[in-house]
Amino acid sequence: MTVFIYPNLEKLHSEECTKEVIEILKSLGVTVLMTPDTNNVFGGKAEEASTINKAVSQCDIVITIGGDGTILKIASLAAKHKKKLLGINCGRLGFMASLERSELGYLKNLCTGDYEVEDRMMLDVMIKSKGKEIIKTVLNDVVITHDFKESLNDFTVLADGVVVSHLRADGVIFSTPTGASAYALSAGGPLIEPSMDCIEFTHICPHSLSARAMIFDPNKTIEVRTKAFGQVSLRADGGKAISITSDDSICIKKSPLSLSVIDIHGDNYFKSISTKLMNNAKEVYEEADDK
């Protein structure tokens, strides 16, 4: 078995965690792949692939070490090559990660096959602007917002050509069930079990008493129009902002790609809700009380 390790070395303790992961996997007889720059950091202990794309194409499993953002950066590539992904958390929350650093002993399960795999739905967003076409594939969400120095914007959302929302807001979010626990949750959207297929639509600070989150059938084609007062931008999975104008066409629909996420514990999603989302809020309040 070959594993590609994709760490975010800017995260606290990620370098130490990566060293441990390398040692454990090699002791299990697993071939470890890294890109040259990363391999140099760890004294050339791994086999090398010249690019991230080649590493993903050559491996059986991708292991990310960092936070949820690290998973998002490589999710579409892992999905494209149909590779399973395991997240190890070295970030603050790591909601999508299956393992914490204290649980690295479970890595042996990769060799025995003692784990579950969930196929996570993804979205494709297509932006047509001035004769050019940009397509992005996301695991979490598509977020369209205005520059907060500017006034509220008018957003119109259509599902299969039928208008379902038209109002002023700071922005709109379209998320997968996986992304429902991210920005959409903070904007008032519901939690959705990630094994489901659907498209969630949530407004960001709508200027309306009637605006509510909506859930669409996964086979709907969603179109977004905006008046684009001032600067409006679109971000796919938190990536680089893409400027949007009133003349641009934005289309969102279910991607043919899906990401296979390894869950070593089983029911990792519900455990994460209890131990990370709920306890995370409790810890914040406890820290505030101590000050």
Residue type, 264: I
- Phi, psi at residue 52, to the nearest 5°? -65, -40
Question: From the candidates 37, 60, 68, 267, which is the catalytic residue?
Answer: 68
CA dist 35 and 51 (Å) reads 6
CA dist 40 and 157 (Å) reads 48
Cβ(71)–Cβ(95) below 8 Å:
no
In the three-class reduction of DSSP (H, G, I as helix; E, B as strand; rest coil), residue 247 is classed as coil
Would residue 170 show up in a list of annotated catalytic residues for this protein?
A: no
Cβ(184)–Cβ(203) below 8 Å:
no
Q: Which residues does 125 contact at the CB level (< 8 Å), separation at least 6?
A: 135, 136, 138, 142, 174, 234, 236, 250, 251, 252
Q: Which residues does 43 contact at the CB level (< 8 Å), separation at least 6?
A: none
Which amino acids are annotated catalytic? Answer: 68
